Amino acid sequence: MTQETLNPFHIVQRQIKEAVDALGVEPAAYEILKQPMRFLEVSIPVRMDDGSLKVFTGYRSQHNDALGPTKGGIRYHPGVFADEVKALSMWMTFKCSLLGLPYGGGKGAIACNPKEMSKGELERLSRGFIRAIAQIVGPEKDIPAPDVYTNPQIMAWMVDEFSQLRGYNNFGLMTGKPLIIGGSVGRSEATGRGCVIVALEAARVLGLPVQGARVVVQGFGNAGSVAARLMHEAGARVIAVNDSKGGAYNPDGLDPVAVNEYKARTGTVKGAPGTRDISNADLLALECDILIPAALENQITSQNAGQVKAKIVSEAANGPTTPEGDEILAGRGILVIPDILASAGGVTVSYFEWVQNLQSFYWTEEEVNARLEQMMKRSFSAVYRMHQEKKVPMRQAAFMVAVDRVVQAMRVRGWLG
């Protein structure tokens, strides 16, 4: 067996190539789509609280803007690297395309450990980053948003800095902002909510009863905790959750709200009352109906895909399954709802926020959630139909739908000659 592909940039290139070949479109389409149209690396000097000066490395990748301005989050993580940021921007292109959003894909990151930084240091870093990339972002160019270890407060600092540079308020620059400066209701829960909507749709088409269905959530962060709560509210039985510090397991089901409150007090789900500890490897191998990977990339691989016992895998995280792992899951008849569909709720409500900013007219939470549900269900139907008609796995079906839309836009714009 060849060495497993773990570099996310190489993974997404492979996914694009498979979709382009299956669609039979011009080879030139792959040549354009296989890399970002623009990639910026910046150095950000920050005065630390102890008086020292530290220089951080930041990135912004803009993959393709055939369908509209690029869109994508900014993550703060010590392990980020250039190829990861490029890949994430490429997945964003197809996520936006799949949902019918007028966006291309973008992504940003700073190599840092926010858990070891003070609020003041984070603010100076955030303002420094937006100054460094200000020439290539904006409501009509590239609209960032929160991602791993970033939040509405960080977006607010960036919006403020950008507004000062421009000399007027420019709230449409960012999404995922605090409500008081143009954020949208429903945004913080959108990724988890979208993941649950399509998971329930998958259960429906497979004839799997939701009442009492066993659910496992890997990664009890923002998306994972929301997904667990909504699954619980839908009548499913959440039997295990975990985070970077450990896991909590109860075969009879646990209360996600109580676990979330416990984590808020202790910093981890491990040791939650009424649960027993479980390792990440054992959690992924639990017998369940729906598995929701909501952590980081490369969690389900050739090494452990054979142990996954779920009927449905709904990917709330970006890139949690390697191509080799994907082949194993497909071969075992496990329905995988790929990340570019299952985790698209966040960018969909970000789109709603951007629209509200441009109009200066704001919607109710009921309106936001209803529009999100409508778009997620419509996109699931398009992917499932392609999956059935072309007899291809769900991930390839999703890429075929998404790539076809981007290629059509490039074609009518004259990019393909």
Distance of alpha carbon 357 from alpha carbon 360, whole angstroms? 5
Three-class SS of 211-251: CCCEEEEECCCHHHHHHHHHHHHCCCEEEEEEECCEEEECC
Q: What is the DSSP annotation of 89-100?
A: HHHHHHHHHHTT
Non-local CB neighbours of 295 within 8 Å, separated by 6+ positions: 218, 219, 221, 224, 244, 317, 320
| pLDDT in the model for residue 329 | 96
Answer with the one of 111, 135, 170 that is the final residue of a domain.
170
Encoded amino acid at 193, one letter? R
Residues 255 and 121 in one domain: no
How far is residue 273 CA from its own chain's centroid? 30
Contact by Cβ (8 Å): 242, 248: yes
| pLDDT in the model for residue 148 | 85
Q: What is the DSSP annotation of 307-371?
A: G-B-SEEE--SSS-B-HHHHHHHHHTT-EEE-HHHHTTHHHHHHHHHHHHHHHT----HHHHHHH
pLDDT digits (tens), the chain, 417 positions: 345 667 889 989 999 999 999 999 999 999 999 999 999 999 999 999 999 999 999 999 999 999 999 999 999 999 999 999 999 999 999 999 999 999 999 999 999 999 999 999 999 999 999 999 999 999 999 999 998 899 999 999 999 999 999 999 999 999 999 999 999 999 989 999 999 999 999 999 999 999 999 999 999 998 999 999 999 999 999 999 999 999 999 999 999 999 999 999 999 999 999 999 999 999 999 999 999 999 988 899 999 999 999 999 999 998 899 989 999 999 999 999 999 999 999 999 999 999 999 999 999 999 999 999 999 999 999 999 999 999 999 999 999 999 999 999 999 999 997
Residues 161 and 13 in one domain: yes
Look-up of token digits 């789109």: 351
Q: Minimal CA–CA distance to 215: which of 341, 311, 316, 318? A: 311
| pLDDT in the model for residue 297 | 82
Residues 141 and 282 in one domain: no
Answer with the one of 290, 310, 337 that is the final residue of a domain.
337
What are the phi and psi torsion angles at 54 (to 5°)? Answer: -120, 135
Residues 249 and 127 in one domain: no
Non-local CB neighbours of 52 within 8 Å, separated by 6+ positions: none
| pLDDT in the model for residue 298 | 86
Question: Residue 21 belongs to what domain range?
Answer: 8-170
| pLDDT in the model for residue 1 | 37
Residue 148 lies in a domain: yes
Number of domain units in the chain = 2
**CATH number of the domain to which 99 belongs:** 3.40.50.10860
Residues 207 and 157 in one domain: no
Candidates 107, 177, 270, 311; catalytic one: 107
Residue 411 lies in a domain: no
Residue 379 lies in a domain: no
Q: In the structure encoding, which two tokens stand for residue 118, read together?
A: 């003070």
Residue 373's CB is within 10 A of a number of other CB atoms, namely 17
Answer with the one of 269, 302, 337 that is the final residue of a domain.
337
Residues 21 and 164 in one domain: yes
Distance of alpha carbon 352 from alpha carbon 362, whole angstroms? 9
The predicted model scores a pTM of 0.92
| pLDDT in the model for residue 318 | 84
Contact by Cβ (8 Å): 348, 194: yes
Residues 224 and 307 in one domain: yes
Encoded amino acid at 310, one letter? A
Residues 19 and 140 in one domain: yes
Distance of alpha carbon 180 from alpha carbon 23, whole angstroms? 45
Query: 107 catalytic, yes or no?
Result: yes
Contact by Cβ (8 Å): 42, 68: no
**CATH number of the domain to which 236 belongs:** 3.40.50.720
| pLDDT in the model for residue 196 | 98
Residues 50 and 108 in one domain: yes
Distance of alpha carbon 157 from alpha carbon 154, whole angstroms? 5
DSSP 138: B
Distance of alpha carbon 168 from alpha carbon 393, whole angstroms? 48
